[in-house]
Amino acid sequence: MTRIVAIGEAMVELAPAGGPDIYRAGFAGDTLNTAWYLRKLMSAADQIAYFTAVGRDAMSDRMLAFIDAAGLATDHIARRDDSSVGLYMISLTNGERSFTYWRGQSAARRMLDDAAALRTALQGADVAYLSGITLAILPDTDRARLLDVLRDFRTGGGKVVFDPNLRPRLWPDAKAMTDAVMQAAALTDIVLPSFEDEAGWFDDPTPEATATRYRDAGVDIVVVKNGPSQILVATPDRSFTVAPSPVADVRDTTAAGDSFNAGFLASYLNDGDLARACMAGAGIAAQVIQQSGALVEVQAVSGQQRG
């Protein structure tokens, strides 16, 4: 049995629903998306828990019920009286999606108020999964606390898996973002960056440069995603590329990276084969980008279902 704890912020999503000013409410968020797909892909004996904080209002109740109904463990989700959950709306202008966020009152920002809660959640876990958004939403002191907990988790034998998911508008400036990401990378076993973001904010000229930067920071396994282009894997012993199968009909790339991470991890934890894990990740992402929305039905790709 494998136990994974995903740490982050789930939000209410309002998406256009077929008419002007008509929206459909749902729940999403990068780490929640990955946890949601992991739950679909891993065996029932494995446990996937979500660590966050929500309020006590009706929308917080609904979010908690949604996470629970997805089969994710919710026992370490704190409830706070003083805050609620974040919200974003998707606007469509000439087919282009743009996002407006309200997350100032999000309880998830306070989830590291009590570091002991995360320590308890990680007890007996094999993997802690987080993203650059997890880092971005926390106050500086709480981010330092998170990194302390992850350091101890690794000392105890746990693995840290991190998607830098660079979102400059969540940070005071680009340097604060890149510094925090590299600090987290120094405590990471597997990093899953997307080259387009990394090139923009770290000035990496090539995916190889991205891989080298993270390897030099101490990461064991680097998997650089690059949209339809080759995925680059770098480990202490070797580096190689894996080509995702072409997707002719790309409908909505939301959650491509999040779902890739789930497919990758489910497969890698099953048999330790990195090339197969990349194919599994790409296979899930390919299904996700041919449908609209972050959370869609997918079929497990051969080699990643645990027996």
CB atoms within 10 A of CB 90: 16
Work out which of 26, 227, 293, 303 binds ligand AMP, going by CB under 6 A.
Answer: 227
Cα separation, 52 vs 110, in Å, equals 9
Cα separation, 58 vs 169, in Å, equals 28
CB atoms within 10 A of CB 45: 8
Smallest distance, Å, CB 279 to ligand AMP? 9
Smallest distance, Å, CB 192 to ligand AMP? 9
Smallest distance, Å, CB 92 to ligand AMP? 19
Question: Scanning residues 75 to 94, which ones bind ligand AMP (CB under 6 A)?
Answer: none
Smallest distance, Å, CB 105 to ligand AMP? 29
231 binds ligand AMP (CB under 6 A): yes
| 122 closest CA partner among 148, 142, 102, 143 | 148
> Measured from the CB atom, is 228 or 293 closer to ligand AMP?
228
Smallest distance, Å, CB 171 to ligand AMP? 19
Cα separation, 175 vs 246, in Å, equals 35
250 binds ligand AMP (CB under 6 A): yes
Smallest distance, Å, CB 258 to ligand AMP? 9
> Measured from the CB atom, is 132 or 257 closer to ligand AMP?
257
Tokens read off for 116:
């002991």
Cα separation, 118 vs 215, in Å, equals 27
Inter-residue contact 282 to 262 (CB < 8 Å): no
Question: Residue written as tokens 């960056």?
Answer: 193
The residue from 163, 258, 271, 273 that is catalytic is: 258
256 binds ligand AMP (CB under 6 A): yes
The amino acid at residue 132 is: G
> Measured from the CB atom, is 93 or 245 closer to ligand AMP?
245
260 binds ligand AMP (CB under 6 A): yes
Do strands 11-16 and 86-93 pair parallel, antiparallel, or not at all (unpaired)?
Answer: parallel
The stretch among 6-14, 110-118, 130-138, 279-287 that binds ligand AMP (CB under 6 A) is 279-287
DSSP run (H or E) holding 44: none
265 binds ligand AMP (CB under 6 A): no
The amino acid at residue 144 is: A
Work out which of 253, 292, 299, 302 binds ligand AMP, going by CB under 6 A.
Answer: 253
Cα separation, 67 vs 146, in Å, equals 22
The stretch among 7-15, 75-83, 131-139, 281-289 that binds ligand AMP (CB under 6 A) is 281-289
CB atoms within 10 A of CB 89: 15
- In sequence order, the β-bridge partners of residue 25 are 14
Is 258 a known active-site residue? yes
111 binds ligand AMP (CB under 6 A): no
64 binds ligand AMP (CB under 6 A): no
CA distances from 261 to 27, 100, 256, 265, 287 (A): 19, 25, 9, 6, 14
Work out which of 285, 294, 295, 298 binds ligand AMP, going by CB under 6 A.
Answer: 285
Binding site for ligand AMP (CB under 6 A): 194, 225-228, 231, 244, 247, 250, 253, 256-257, 260, 282, 285-286, 289
The residues that are catalytic are 258
